[in-house]
Structures are given as structure tokens and as C-alpha cells.
Amino acid sequence: MEARRLVDLAQVIRSKNAGPLHLTLDIIFADAEGFALAAQSPALGAAAIAGLYGVAPATVQVIPFAAANAIKVVLDRPVVAGSPGDADVYGAQQHRPLLRVVL
């Protein structure tokens, strides 16, 4: 099977704050085919996401939602939102590592 880049399949890749301790990553696909390919890929599994973000795999939840052709990922923030060292209190710029993912 040919490798596909996530950015070529996803219509939306974004991140946002989910409280002071968590981030959410939303990946929304234009069609069921792209969603199915991504949902079954180990590149979007908890271990792979944990590696991209430098957190423990046990702190990552990957939630596929077929009805919306979307995948939501919830993960621990490395720094509490708004505390010293936090460079993105809104979590809006944390989706960048996903832009390099190959399925």
C-alpha cells in the first residue's frame, strides 16, 4: 500500500486548549475513505502521538468518530496553561507535529 501524508487526506488539522492540563487535536477528513485509512494507521495511535508530543502513551486518548469522518486526540499538556514556560495558552499552535505524519 502506498504511504499517504496526513495533510493530503485531512481537510482540517487543528489544536485547541482543553482546560489547563490538556490539549485536543482535531483531524477532520473530507470523506470516509480518508478517515478509514487514518483511523486504522499506527501513525495515529496513542504511542505514535505520544512520541510526537513527548508525553507518556497512557496520557493520550485517540477517539475516532466515523459519523463525522473525524479523529479527536486528547493529550496532557507538557506545561500547565498560563504557567511560566507556556508559550501557547490557547493551544492553537500545537498541531504542527501532525503535519509531518505519514500514514
Give a yes or no: residue 73 inside a domain.
yes
CA distance 79 to 85: 7
Residue 2, pLDDT score? 75
Q: Is residue 45 part of a domain?
A: yes
CATH code of the domain covering residue 61: 3.30.70
Taking 80 as the threshold, does the pLDDT of residue 1 lie above it?
no
The predicted pLDDT at position 78 comes to 85
Q: Look at residue 6 in the predicted model and tell me its pLDDT.
A: 97
1 belongs to a structural domain: no
Which pLDDT tens digit goes with each residue over 27-50? Answer: 999 999 999 999 999 999 999 999
**CB-based contact 62:49 (threshold 8 Å):** yes
Domain that holds residue 10: 6-80+91-100
Q: Which residue bears the cell 506545561? A: 79
**In-domain check, residue 37:** yes
* Spatial distance between the Cα atoms of 24 and 56, rounded to a whole number of angstroms: 15
Integer-rounded Cα Rg, in Å, for the chain is 13
pTM of the entire predicted model: 0.92
Count of domains forming the chain? 1
Rounded to an integer, what distance in angstroms lies between the CA atom of residue 62 and that of residue 34? 16
- Quote the Cα angle for 52-18-4, to 5°: 35
Is 44 part of any domain? yes
**Tens of pLDDT, residues 53-95:** 999 999 999 999 999 999 999 999 988 999 999 989 999 999 9
